[in-house]
Structure 1
Amino acid sequence: MTKKLFTKKYSLHFNLQNFLRRKQVVVNSILLFTLAFYLTSLPITFANQPATKIPNVQFAPNPEKLIEKGEQLYQSGNFSQAVIVLQAAVRTYKLQKDNIYQAAALSNLALVYQQLGLLQEAENAINTSLNLLGWDVKDQKLKVNHQNSEPLEVLAQTFDIQAGLQLSVGQSEVSLTTSQRAEKLWQQLGNGDRVTYSRINQAQALRVSGFYRRALDTLQAVNKQLQTQPDSPMKVAGLRSLGNALQLAGDFEQSQQVLQQSINIAQNLKLPQDISIGEFSLGNTKRAAGDFASAIAHYQKAAEVAPTPFTKIQAQINQLSLLLETEKTADAKVLVPIIRSQLANLPLNHSSLYASIHFARTIKNLGGNQDIAQILAKTVQQAQTLGDRQAESYALGSLGEVYEQTQQWNEAQKLTQKALLIAQEIDASDIAYLWQWQLGRLLRAKGDITAAIAFYDAAVATLQSLRSDLVAVNRDVQFNFRDRVEPIYRQSVELLLQEKGENKPDLDKARKRIETLQLAELDNFFREACLNNQFVVLDRVVDQDNPHTAIFYPIILENQLAVILKLPNKPLIYKNNVVSRQQVEQVVMQLRKDIVQPEKTKKVKELSEQLYNWLIQPIADELKTSGVNTLVFIPDGLLRNIPMAVLYDGKEYLIEKYALALSPGLQLFTPQPLTKTNFNALAGGLSEIPKNEKFAPLPNVKNELNKIQKLGVRTTTLLNDQFISTILEKTINEQPYRIVHLATHGKFSSKATETFILAYDKRIYVGELDTLLKSRSEKRSEPVELLVLSACETASGDNRATLGLAGVAIKAGARSTLASLWNINDDSTAFFISEFYSQLTTGKTTKSEALRQAQIKMLKSDNYSRPAQWAPYVLVGNWL
């Protein structure tokens, strides 16, 4: 069970003006819950007026007045007083034996409990409400047949509220079932608006559960429904909810369009609160898309038009954090006192606690640790007053981090241990890992390496248990993967390699730890846990079947470049160079920049030789005496951006000595060599570029595809207007193609939404590639042995773009993927492809050796000898 931090966002609508009309449809008696969305920052509370002091209402005779007052208090953020009022309403309805309105009041009460972080109380209120309405909570069925629509409407809305509560505590599959139950009731009642909301709830639950494609399909259908509805406040909220969900799904372009439509309608209807919230959501989408200037502008707009203090301060805090992230420190310092003064006037509730914590954590790098400590210490006391243990844990841990910064290790450790204990008691794993990591850092600073490793191990284990939630739900982690997740793994490996004693350091644990990071990076790339297939461990492949293959694990750490080498049937070998991460990355980035410029061959050799001396030279003797002829690299960090083939020993390139391949991790699809008997290929490509695209023509594609066929590969060819997504999907199901060769433009990016392959009718994005290529598995049991992408390239200026290449390799479900790291001219590609298939069709060589021979042929030629021309090709996955 997980609880989200800084991330709950509720879109609520109230329609209680006519509540005093006693027999009006009961739909008006519930605070209409639409959906819990997990975005960055704080919970939104919709406040229309300031908090009001409540008289003694224990025996108030008019429960309708109490509900009205409870709504006002809820809107103003005064949740503690709202609880008192709504509890009184529940008691009064109970005395009146009015089960329907008592159930409605309990559902309202559950919403308030949820905002206070009292999740067990919220669940109890929901269950009591359901029982009053005749729903059997244990058997999950309706025990009575209601004769009119009133109880069914309350029941449907209670299900909507329950679904949001279940989603907020990590029960995504249960939440999906509850939302589906609500949808059926709304359909029965003929309420199309509420059907739409229930479907949006379902899409979010699907997304959290990892059903990415189903979630997107549901959202697309919802969008069509919303477009047919007349403009109304409900449509505004529905579009906003849809835009938020699309942002979570990574579809930033459509998210922006839908959110802007929501804002436009809100402006026409003169709904300032909805305008403000829409601008805030649009700022979040722009931020996620990397358009920081626009995001700041939207946050400013949200704050300017906000009619309530909570929405205003939330937008300002997000603006502040982004100003600091983009190093606009002067602008940030102007905003700090404005936010600080407003925080003091907020009513005490779950939202105001997190506003204070988020503000304190945001300004921690501006200095003023004493002020920050005072804010957090006060927040701890307020959280204890409210009984909000989750907020108490977060405030305590954040205060411990302040003491860590001032090197007050003992005090920091006490606070962090207390924060961790609370997080574990309430099963808040998504903050527990932060405190485990923090304790690891503190113990490391105190010199207790063994204890520090234990806490790092615990943090990694917690992250693993949260794998799906982190990528699909927790936007705070999603936004800050490089700051809040990646360092845990790297610091952990650094500690493991420092261990002394018998059988230390534990090299196997160290390399598995860095692999776990690489899997987490891919999960973060796809926004879903993506590697769930059955794989074979590389060590077993090498030890049992490939005695001439070595596995190479370079690891970039803060103050060293570590190398772990696996030779067949031998213990792991560890070498390291004392060189800083900045030095390594500087050399790699310069090499990547220079290698594509043909006139810089001399400079490329100098940089390549430096990398060779760091990576290969320390274990060159072991490699030579082992008799291996193939190196499989599992490259780390920026090392993925350069081909290992180009490493230079002063006389020869590495490709001249060894066949080379890359692997995304320590495991791969069961390796199997290609044989002449299963040489059949589906070849597609574009020599003509669609009019709406700006890529350069590829005139040699037709020649490239013809050469493959002439070399004896049985080929089905889809060229130009035949190379469209629907024909590709249909054709791939017709035969058990073992090779899929795509000669077309494409881009590998660090964002899944910008990683695609170009077809004649559209861009096929990496998520669709998964669906398209794996659709064959429904009819064909044979996997694709080799996927060739002969004209794709990594996005320029994107240091993590090769995540896209690894992502395509995994999503395609192919045993091996051959691709290029940068764009090469059309004729050299045709030459390379011809040589590669010529080697492959002999049936006497591995895919990695075929690649090696083709590259050497280019290297030795007069026309293609520069690294820019022969080096970009890499083989990912099975090298046999």
Structure 2
Amino acid sequence: MRDCKLSLTALLTLILTISQPIANLPPLFQASQVLAQTPAERKVEADRLSQQGLEQYKISQFEAALQSWQQALIIYREIKDRKGEGKTLGRLGVIYDYRGDYTKAIEYQQQSLAIAREINDRSIEGAALGNLGLAYDAKGDYDKAIEYHSLSLAIAREIKDRKGEGESLGNLGIAYDSLGDYAKAIEYQQQRLVIAREIKDRKGEGAALGNLGSAYYSLGDYAKAIEYQQQRLAIAREIKYRLGEGAALGNLGNAYYSLGDYAKAIEYHQQSLAIAREIKYRLGEGQSLGNLGAAYNSLGDYAKAIEYHEQYLAIAREIKYRLGEGCALSNLGIAYFSLGNYTKAIDYQQQRLAIAREIKDRLGEGQSLGNLGAAYHSLGDYAKAIEYHEQSLAIAREIKDRLGEGQSLGNLGNAYYSLGDYAKAIEYHEQSLDIAREIKDRLGEGQSLGNLGNAYHSLGDYAKAIEYHEQSLDIAREIKDRLGEGQSLGNLGNAYDSLGDYAKAIEYHQQYLAIAREIKYRLGEGNALGNLGNAYDSLGDYAKAIEYHEQYLAIAREIKYRLGEGAALGNLGNAYYSLGDYAKAIEYYQKSLAIAREIKDRKGEGTSLGNLGGAYNSLGDYAKAIEYHEQYLAIAREIKYPLGERYALSNLGITYYSLGDYAKAIDYQQKTLAIAREIKDRLGEGQSLNNLGPAYQKSGNLPEAEKTLRAGIEVWESLRGRLGKNDSYKVSIFEQQARTYRILQEILIAQNKIKEALEISERGRSRAFVELLTSRLSDKNTSQIPEKPTVALLQQIAKQQNSTLVEYSIIYNYFKNQGKQETQESELYIWVIKPTGEVTFRKADLKTLWQKENTTLAKLVTTSRNSIGARGTAFRGIDVTYNPNAPKAKNNLKRLHELLINPIGDLLPKNSSDRVIFIPQGALFLVPFAALQDADGKYLIEKHTLLTSPSIQVLDLTRKQKQQTGTKPIEGKDTLIVGNPTMPFVAPKIGETPQQLIPLPGAEREANAISKLLKTEPLIGKKATETTVVQRLPQARFVHLATHGLFDDIQGLNSGIALTPSGKDDGLLTASEILDLKLNAELVVLSACDTGRGRLTGDGVIGLSRSLISAGVPSVLVSLWSVPDAPTALLMTEFYQNIQKTPDKAQALRQAMLTTMKNNPNPVDWAAFTLIGEAE
């Protein structure tokens, strides 16, 4: 077993020092000390020197022992004592082995072996063979080590030396451990243990238990490793074997270190150090100091780590222990690496490499090369990193070091990952994973799975990334690796952040933070805080993001982690950039840039330059933006970083686009696209096509723009296909891709391709919803792909629905405002499909809203709702007073009518019972269409029967669902009515303290009134538990929920219906939980606060309505705001009375609205409800 064993990963190098078993020394002979005159007296003197050397050796006085044995050798040769000569040569070989001079060690053992064979001394022959095995093991030549140990074992068995047999078995176990064949290692150590117990060799028993602990340690089974080391410790203390006690304490320290319990590791290493100093065991003292340095390095206390490693280095040099000297130098390099001082790190690793080559330590040579690769990786010099890792890999394969081979493959994977060559990264990580599984290295298996997760994350395959990170997390928990558990949780947090599930991302990062603080891992604490900052930045909570990044910055500065300091400053820059404070963003980017240059972090330097370019682009200073992006491009090309080259070229293309130089913009984006395709970066390919299309559009090349964006859509849809049936993933991913669909519509309209533009508009909305519904309606075991929405299909749906379909699409464009490029609403596209199949296109100009009226369509929708007194946007734990403004409301509702209805008024049916189905987009989902007023003051509901749907294709699927559920008259026994549950506690915002929602006595009265009408019993108050509701939902044909509806506007599937908490649940039935149900209801009514809202994304109403439809409900009636109690009770009673007379739910709702309007003319009282899905 080696004194210094390094696990090499590109991002973190772990240091593990395991005590080396004492070599098998030949039997000792003692004689009294007399004057050396006669040959007999000379022999006595030689024997005395031999014994003296042994005592010196035991307390690590290797130089003194060497001199004693060299003097003894001279006398033995002089008096021709071949036996004494043979033994002494073997002992000298052991000294050279400890000094790391394996060539000399082997030379002496070979001489000892030759003499033993010459004089036919099987005991010395066995010892020499065993020591040759140890020397070859130390050299990393494990096959030869096994060969010699096997020969030694055979001799021990032949001469019936049970103790020697046990030692040989133990040494074979150590060799197989080094080879990574842990099963065989355990087998041999178990055999040694049996012999030691049989012959009552307590010291040998302790050694066997310790080596079993080391084998389980290598397997990553730290609990078992600790168990064996504790047994070894107990024996050492019982027989007062201080050396064994110190070794056991050191190995326990290593086990707790690997578990991430650094405080406990330090405690054990301190005890081991005390024993080594007490027994004057200098080698053990050095090893304990090295282990303490490793623990403090992991805690982020690099100054203390360096102090301990320097003490180890001094001892190693003092006792001329070259192997230890190399390890100390390497560990110093790792400490400086952790500090971000890569130049110093490289210097120390080069010194260690020189020693490894000098003493022919192939294992150490491979490790040094791997560490050099890690340092160059962090400097952003990936070509050099790969070169070093390939050399390290070659050595690992040559010496059959399977563990080292797996680590080198992992490092190569990380290097290609950083280059953006994810396909190659995956290839290497899969090879690394295979080896880890083959040699049962659970720790390595977990790390490989985590690395694969990161690679798939960068490819945009988030489902696969999460799958790998969850496997990695399971292993970390199984082997009680707290550090690995924390890192896996952090990786899962990053994956959910990319998916847009910020609540889940924050939850995972908080768990990582808790673990990092528990194990006092300051670096991990900083990383977790930084990730939390990024998640809050994505959420748009920039104040909180800044708070977290400042905490990370403070830790990085405290532990002198310059790389982290630069990252925190860059993240602060990003937060201020998002706030629109470009001056402050630039200030932080400049500081980050200065650190990157100081520590020679070329990749970080490029990133900072790119950020500065982005900030100046947003300021409208395009010349400066180009200057910075060109500097980033030069660095990316210099360090052969294709991903960075792609970013820089893309940013240059965007800047030239802003300048109106479309030819140059096209040129840069084409280069970007070529790189993305070359490195098989599908996400990057989609982004490049998305940027290239508008450049062709502006240059007037509309056919090429169309072709490019169609290719972009194919990329997006192939990426979504990787997410399988996971609805929540698809939704958030789709939102990032909506721009491609919008611009393509614009290009098609410009070419007068009206119908093709409608197909793209439809294809660009509710795709995840459509895919999920299609899949659920088909055979459950097959993932059915929905047909693409052709105009013929859309016409067929209009005919089947016997309805006029109105599809809206909001078009955005870049406009210059005070020298800056800003995205603003440009036009509203409207398609009308009549039941006859006739398709008409109209459009409305939206520019006048922000150019002349100081508003936008989105703002107009919000002010319309506010002016009629619509509530629902405030948190439900706080009662808010709203003051309706009737004249303003009238004006707003008329203005919305002008924009949304006037352009198509002539196309709508004249018969008020004929249905009109609106397909809104974005903020238009919030529009109370029923309340829109024409110039004569007539409301739209007075002229038409209205419904809404997230897309036209969804109507086809809800119709099919309706065919499956069938139609039955409404009866009390088939209904589930819930009113005013005992409210749960819910956090107003992610990360805030939960508050109890306010009770809804009006909802209780509503539920009682409807129950009386339908002759059934409602679930009120404490009876309305989530458990009861979930049990009854699948059997109900009609469901009425009068309670709070909560909406997470960032991630809609965290939206929920408030119910009574019970022991098993939290009282919030979330949209994602509803998705897992199989419902058979014809209709679900959500008569609650705000339940019609959901997140207003391009994928439609993400919230509860979509989850209910996906779970099998064809018709959902939702309220767009919190309606006053009395009008709601009236409207709902009317609605249910109408439903009992007619199966047409849209007609029933219209009549209920008209009746309520007579007594309550304010639209806030009657216009909140909208029917989504099927009318009948």
Q: Partner of 1:205 in structure 2?
A: none
Alignment of 1:623 with 2:623, yes or no, is: no
* Gap runs ≥5 in structure 2: 1-8, 21-137, 139-173, 179-213, 221-256, 261-336, 778-785, 812-824, 851-855, 870-881, 986-993
SS of 1:424's equivalent?
Answer: helix
Q: CA-to-partner distance for each residue in 1:72-125, whole Å, 9 max, x for gaps?
A: 652671464443333323222333344443344333443334334344554554
Aligned residue identity for 1:112 = A
Over 3 Å counting, the alpha-carbon distance change for 1:756 and 1:239 in structure 2 is same
Contact 1:542–1:550 (CA under 8 A) maintained in structure 2: no
Q: Partner of 1:506 in structure 2?
A: 754
Aligned residue identity for 1:858 = T
Q: Partner of 2:15 in structure 1?
A: 16
Among candidates 318, 323, 342, match of residue 50 of structure 1: 342
Aligned residue identity for 1:551 = L
Counterpart Cα distance in 1 of 2:647 and 2:410: 28
Question: How far is the alpha carbon of 1:175 from its aligned partner?
Answer: 6.7
Question: How far is the alpha carbon of 1:794 from its aligned partner?
Answer: 5.5
Q: CA-to-partner distance for each residue in 1:204-255, whole Å, 9 max, x for gaps?
A: xxxxxxxxxxxxxxxxxxxxxxxxxxxx655654664565566567775676
Over 3 Å counting, the alpha-carbon distance change for 1:388 and 1:821 in structure 2 is same
Provide the alpha-carbon RMSD of the alignment: 4.3
Q: Partner of 1:684 in structure 2?
A: 978
Question: Is the deviation greater in 276-285 or in 334-343?
Answer: 334-343
Q: Partner of 1:720 in structure 2?
A: 1021
Contact 1:460–1:489 (CA under 8 A) maintained in structure 2: yes
Q: Partner of 1:611 in structure 2?
A: 896
Counterpart Cα distance in 1 of 2:423 and 2:594: 34
Query: Equivalences for 1:333-482 in 2 at 5 Å?
Result: 333-345=586-598, 347=600, 353-354=606-607, 356-467=609-720
Contact 1:357–1:395 (CA under 8 A) maintained in structure 2: yes
Question: How far is the alpha carbon of 1:356 from its aligned partner?
Answer: 4.3
Contact 2:1058–2:1069 (CA under 8 A) maintained in structure 1: no
Question: How far is the alpha carbon of 1:331 from its aligned partner?
Answer: 2.4
Question: How far is the alpha carbon of 1:600 from its aligned partner?
Answer: 2.6
Q: Partner of 2:418 in structure 1?
A: 115
Aligned residue identity for 1:574 = F
Contact 1:47–1:75 (CA under 8 A) maintained in structure 2: no
Question: How far is the alpha carbon of 1:328 from its aligned partner?
Answer: 2.5
Counterpart Cα distance in 2 of 1:696 and 1:869: 21
Over 3 Å counting, the alpha-carbon distance change for 1:621 and 1:259 in structure 2 is closer
Q: Partner of 1:37 in structure 2?
A: none
Query: Equivalences for 1:89-488 in 2 at 5 Å?
Result: 89-119=392-422, 121-126=424-429, 129=432, 158=448, 161-162=451-452, 164-165=454-455, 168-169=458-459, 193=477, 195=479, 233=483, 236-237=486-487, 240-241=490-491, 244=494, 256=506, 259-260=509-510, 262-263=512-513, 266=516, 271-306=521-556, 307-345=560-598, 347=600, 353-354=606-607, 356-467=609-720, 485-488=737-740
Contact 1:566–1:572 (CA under 8 A) maintained in structure 2: yes
Counterpart Cα distance in 1 of 2:465 and 2:1101: 36
Q: Partner of 2:831 in structure 1?
A: 564
Counterpart Cα distance in 2 of 1:11 and 1:759: 49
Contact 1:416–1:435 (CA under 8 A) maintained in structure 2: yes
Q: Partner of 2:953 in structure 1?
A: 667
Query: Equivalences for 1:583-622 in 2 at 5 Å?
Result: 583-596=856-869, 599-622=884-907
Among candidates 518, 535, 540, match of residue 765 of structure 2: 518
Once the two structures are aligned, what percentage of the paired residues are identical?
22
Q: Partner of 1:220 in structure 2?
A: none
Aligned residue identity for 1:510 = A
Q: CA-to-partner distance for each residue in 1:142-175, whole Å, 9 max, x for gaps?
A: 6xxx7xx6x6765665555455545554667777
Q: CA-to-partner distance for each residue in 1:332-388, whole Å, 9 max, x for gaps?
A: 243232223234345466665555445533543134433432333343344334443
Counterpart Cα distance in 1 of 2:701 and 2:1067: 48
Tell which structure's C-alpha radius of gyration is larger: 2
TM-score, structure 2 normalization: 0.60
Contact 1:403–1:411 (CA under 8 A) maintained in structure 2: yes
Q: Partner of 1:786 in structure 2?
A: 1083
Over 3 Å counting, the alpha-carbon distance change for 1:476 and 1:837 in structure 2 is closer
Counterpart Cα distance in 2 of 1:425 and 1:493: 29
Contact 1:740–1:788 (CA under 8 A) maintained in structure 2: yes
Q: Partner of 1:867 in structure 2?
A: 1163
Over 3 Å counting, the alpha-carbon distance change for 1:826 and 1:850 in structure 2 is same
Q: Partner of 1:42 in structure 2?
A: none
Question: How far is the alpha carbon of 1:552 from its aligned partner?
Answer: 0.9
Alignment of 1:491 with 2:758, yes or no, is: no
Alignment of 1:756 with 2:1056, yes or no, is: yes
Contact 2:421–2:680 (CA under 8 A) maintained in structure 1: no
Question: How far is the alpha carbon of 1:787 from its aligned partner?
Answer: 0.8
Question: Is the deviation greater in 653-662 or in 122-131?
Answer: 122-131
Q: Partner of 2:988 in structure 1?
A: none
Question: How far is the alpha carbon of 1:725 from its aligned partner?
Answer: 0.9
Question: How far is the alpha carbon of 1:129 from its aligned partner?
Answer: 5.0
Among candidates 1094, 1111, 1127, match of residue 828 of structure 1: 1127
Counterpart Cα distance in 1 of 2:520 and 2:442: 33
SS of 1:814's equivalent?
Answer: coil
Question: How far is the alpha carbon of 1:821 from its aligned partner?
Answer: 0.9
Question: How far is the alpha carbon of 1:817 from its aligned partner?
Answer: 1.1
Alignment of 1:705 with 2:1007, yes or no, is: yes
Question: How far is the alpha carbon of 1:463 from its aligned partner?
Answer: 2.1
Alignment of 1:574 with 2:844, yes or no, is: no
Contact 2:536–2:545 (CA under 8 A) maintained in structure 1: yes
Over 3 Å counting, the alpha-carbon distance change for 1:339 and 1:701 in structure 2 is closer
Counterpart Cα distance in 1 of 2:868 and 2:745: 31
Aligned residue identity for 2:1174 = N
Question: How far is the alpha carbon of 1:591 from its aligned partner?
Answer: 1.1
Counterpart Cα distance in 2 of 1:496 and 1:604: 37
Over 3 Å counting, the alpha-carbon distance change for 1:282 and 1:632 in structure 2 is same
Over 3 Å counting, the alpha-carbon distance change for 1:463 and 1:758 in structure 2 is same
Over 3 Å counting, the alpha-carbon distance change for 1:17 and 1:170 in structure 2 is same
Counterpart Cα distance in 1 of 2:1069 and 2:364: 51
Contact 1:747–1:795 (CA under 8 A) maintained in structure 2: no
Contact 2:340–2:562 (CA under 8 A) maintained in structure 1: no
Counterpart Cα distance in 2 of 1:12 and 1:765: 43
Bigger relative contact order, structure 1 or 2 (CA pairs below 8 A, ≥6 apart):
1
Aligned residue identity for 1:564 = W
TM-score, structure 1 normalization: 0.78
SS of 1:423's equivalent?
Answer: helix
Contact 2:473–2:485 (CA under 8 A) maintained in structure 1: no
Question: Is the deviation greater in 280-289 or in 797-806?
Answer: 797-806
Contact 2:494–2:531 (CA under 8 A) maintained in structure 1: yes
